[in-house]
Chains A and B, each alone.
Chain A
Amino acid sequence: DAKTTQPNSMESNEEEPVHLPCNHSTISGTDYIHWYRQLPSQGPEYVIHGLTSNVNNRMASLAIAEDRKSSTLILHRATLRDAAVYYCILNYGGSQGNLIFGKGTKLSVKP
């Protein structure tokens, strides 16, 4: 199974941009890159996903390297509410679609 590597933790200041990296060097051509986050005492929440091109939505942007071996989740202005564990997941094109979570990155946001 293709795996992802993320830093265990990151810190950010409120209202500053945050770049959360993810390495997935064994990604295959049909693997989508998904990001979910889990706020304290809640279930995971979908953030964004992409295949090859960069993606933007109201929550975040996803920048995918040209070789697809890494990606970066960008929160444009961090708020205290963005403090969560962020999971980068490869959702296999050939699989049944179940999510395989790693340990994620715990993001702390300082006021």
Chain B
Amino acid sequence: EAGVTQFPSHSVIEKGQTVTLRCDPISGHDNLYWYRRVMGKEIKFLLHFVKESKQDESGMPNNRFLAERTGGTYSTLKVQPAELEDSGVYFCASSQLTRLAGSSSYNEQFFGPGTRLTVL
């Protein structure tokens, strides 16, 4: 079974340009997440899709970031215009939620290799 894939693996752009990152989740996973790690910081959550709907976008830093998941399959994360502080590694993850009785539920998230974005 193929894992989570991300494209491109590296991207170098100039400040003010636009970049689009792509994530292909594991087939059949309804949940898709974006995270990022900027230089010297911890990995931070950006947003969560359930199928094509945004379940939680509380981690999106500002309106220069736009995430889509048309058709509930792959997802794109566009940064427009890119700023220097956007440099870092962007990770995508997917999961198939396992829900138990009551309010308890858990999900194992499977991460892709990440896209390293450098803004000059």
A and B pair up = no
